[in-house]
Amino acid sequence: MDSLQPIVERLHALVPTAEQVNAILEAVLSRLPPSVSSLASSVPSLSPAGSDYTSPAKLIPGSIFVALVVWPLLRRLARGPGPLDKVLGPEGAGFIAGHLPLVFTPNAWGFHEMVAKKYGGIAKLHGFFRKPMLFVYDPKALYHIFLKDQHTFEESDSFVGTNQPVFGDGLLSTLGEQHRRQRKMLNPVFSIAHMKRMIPTFFDITFQLREIFLEKTANGPTELDMSPLMTSTALEIISQCGLGQKFNTVQVANGADEHEYIKAMKMLLPLGASPFLLMVRTMVMPTLYRLKLSNTRFMRLVVNLVGIPYRRLRLLKQAVDVMHKTSVGIFNAKKKAVADGEDGDQTDFLSILMRENAKASKEDQLPDNEVIAQISTIMFAAMDTTSNALCRILYLLSKNQDAQERLRAEIREAKQRFGDGELSYDQLGSLTYLDAVIRETLRRYSPAAVVTRESNKDAILPLSKPITTTDGAQTQEVYVPKDTMVIISINSINNDPDIWGDDAHEWKPERWLKPLPEEVVEAKIPGVYSHLMTFIGGGRACIGFKFSEMEMKVVLYTLLDGFKFSPGKEIYWNMIGVATPSSQPEMKEFKSDCPLVVSRAD
């Protein structure tokens, strides 16, 4: 019990006094809908007369419940009129979940398009218990969010607090100076010079994939599921290039056993995509993160207790345990090799990072736990985004045979020029139509449709165009209060007709073979990649976007020469963090598939 005392004290500090509760109840009662007005009457029972609140044993259950649920809820319900009330937005928000079930759901595409078309670059939505939040894609506002005021609009506490117990203190789970220190150490690791040395590994793995395609099409056209094939390829590429580890994931398609670490990695997105865990991420994890409890034994205790009736959470914990155990094993082996001087010629990201970290000054060095955290962070970040983007490209090429034939002709011409083997980084870069196909797909269908930020202080967001407020006035800036969730619509900014033209919603690779419209340049979109927000921008831009781009080029170059792709079953794209394909209108158990008919190309 003594070991829990610091935790109890932190929770107790958040618990309101009886006077605070009574004072706020009057404000709450006047705003509660009749259907939930009974909620207020239950609050006094949390502090019955004569209760002993000095005993840690008696404090734990009540403190946790009041600090994490009741008190934040009461504060939200008592909120008076705010500056965001004048921002227009859609109706239809439920009292408890607000617009969240419409924003974060597999079939959310229509809702996002409606909000963008009806309200323009900024709109007001509601989160849990009708807390105001913003839906933004105005380019000037994005410039401030991602560049000028990026330290004001940080990753949300819910995002960081959820990632921390899964990955540890890695790039996806840190903020502020800690994150900047990690980026400073990792940016050189992902340099073009290092990636050029990895090209042979890319081709070795994609040649294995090609052999599977040759085997499967030996007797004529056949339907192949692209989803596991592209995922396995992406995982093996990042395993070898990122960690210096061979998991032989490509061979799983031929019946080979799958490593437990790869199984665990594949389970993360499906297990994390549930309404219950969305509520936990939004309402509970921010408080745990602020209390510094999201990466402690306390968090494991909570997961163990909640996981008793909730199977999905138990499986998620098991996956995290496997990932951590494997990461520690990889790290210890690398650390010994570096110390013994046996790792000097290894070109994988982890080896480079550990060698550079050992030479860094004391203030710049990353502690062991932060290096370990990068292992699963790098694997996860490079897995679904690239593999699902490849599925999307192959799907689009199957639907657009003229584009597929044009790309195949360019690849075959390159083989005549450079030889029938692997290409260098610069030679791949010379294939202009291949580049155009990838850019257009990442523009029209960004793997991540949205990202979120949260204001850590009051701020002003300027807009590129004036908006009309609820009282009919015109304004070209919006006052954003502290702790406001901002949903950035990547899909909307990448497909804005005012920027990309009337054909913005059409997939046209040829648009990249000529100068882009002046509106694209003038918009000053703050993305790190080709006037797009696909890989976002600023200090939290995707650190491996060049790696992802190169992987897509190598896979397409290897496959399109010898194989023709035709449509199979109808494919539906699900917005579950990353746009994920499924042959079913409603994705069952979050199992992705992307069946296409594959045959030998003439």
Domain with CATH 1.10.630.10 in the chain: 187-445+541-600
Tell me the pLDDT of the chain averaged across its residues: 86
The answer to whether residue 173 scores a pLDDT higher than 80 is yes
Query: How crowded is residue 241: how many other Cβ atoms within 10 Å of its Cβ?
Result: 27
Identify the weakest region by mean pLDDT among 202-216, 313-327, 433-447, 462-476: 313-327
Query: How crowded is residue 425: how many other Cβ atoms within 10 Å of its Cβ?
Result: 18
Per-residue DSSP letters for 146-158?
A: IIITTTTEEPPHH
Instruction: Round to whole Å and give the CA distance between 191 and 291.
Output: 37
Nearest Cα neighbor of 205 from 237, 246, 158, 238 is 237
Mean pLDDT of the region 452-468: 97
Q: What pLDDT does residue 542 have?
A: 96
Q: What is the pTM of this model?
A: 0.87
Helix axes 432-444, 401-418, angle to 10 degrees: 140
Q: What percent of the chain has pLDDT over 90?
A: 66
Give pLDDT tens digits for 67-126. 555 655 665 555 667 889 999 999 988 888 899 989 998 899 999 999 999 999 999 999
Residue 593: which residues within 8 A CB-CB, separation 6 or more?
Answer: 225, 227, 228, 581, 582, 583
Residue 301: which residues within 8 A CB-CB, separation 6 or more?
Answer: none
Core vs surface per residue 180-219: b (16+ CB within 10 A) or e:
ebbeebbeebbeeebbeebbebbbebbebbbebbeebbee
Q: What pLDDT does residue 297 have?
A: 65
Q: What pLDDT does residue 161 have?
A: 86
Instruction: Round to whole Å and give the CA distance between 204 and 202.
Output: 6
Identify the weakest region by mean pLDDT among 15-19, 202-206, 459-463: 15-19
Instruction: Round to whole Å and give the CA distance between 41 and 230.
Output: 55
Identify the weakest region by mean pLDDT among 19-33, 420-434, 531-545: 19-33
Write out the two tokens for 208.
């294995």
Q: What pLDDT does residue 18 have?
A: 46
Give pLDDT tens digits for 417-436. 999 889 999 999 999 999 99
The answer to whether residue 11 scores a pLDDT higher than 60 is no
CATH of domain 187-445+541-600: 1.10.630.10
Q: What pLDDT does residue 338 have?
A: 80
Residue 528 burial by Cβ neighbours in a 10 Å radius (0-12, 13-18, 19+): middle
Instruction: Round to whole Å and give the CA distance between 232 and 253.
Output: 8
Q: What pLDDT does residue 284 have?
A: 74
Identify the weakest region by mean pLDDT among 275-279, 356-360, 399-403: 275-279
Q: What pLDDT does residue 24 have?
A: 45
- What are the helix (H) ranges across 67-198? 71-77, 100-103, 109-119, 139-143, 157-167, 176-186, 192-196
Residue 488 burial by Cβ neighbours in a 10 Å radius (0-12, 13-18, 19+): buried
Give pLDDT tens digits for 554-577. 999 999 999 999 999 999 999 988
For residue 261, the one-letter residue type is: Y
- Give yes or no for a contact between 490 and 446, defined as CB atoms under 8 angstroms apart: yes
Query: How crowded is residue 397: how many other Cβ atoms within 10 Å of its Cβ?
Result: 25
Q: What pLDDT does residue 57 have?
A: 40
**According to the annotation, is 391 in a ligand binding site?**
no
Per the model's pLDDT, the better-predicted residue between 23 and 367 turns out to be 367
Nearest Cα neighbor of 86 from 463, 449, 473 is 473
- Give yes or no for a contact between 322 and 260, defined as CB atoms under 8 angstroms apart: yes
SS3 at position 326: helix
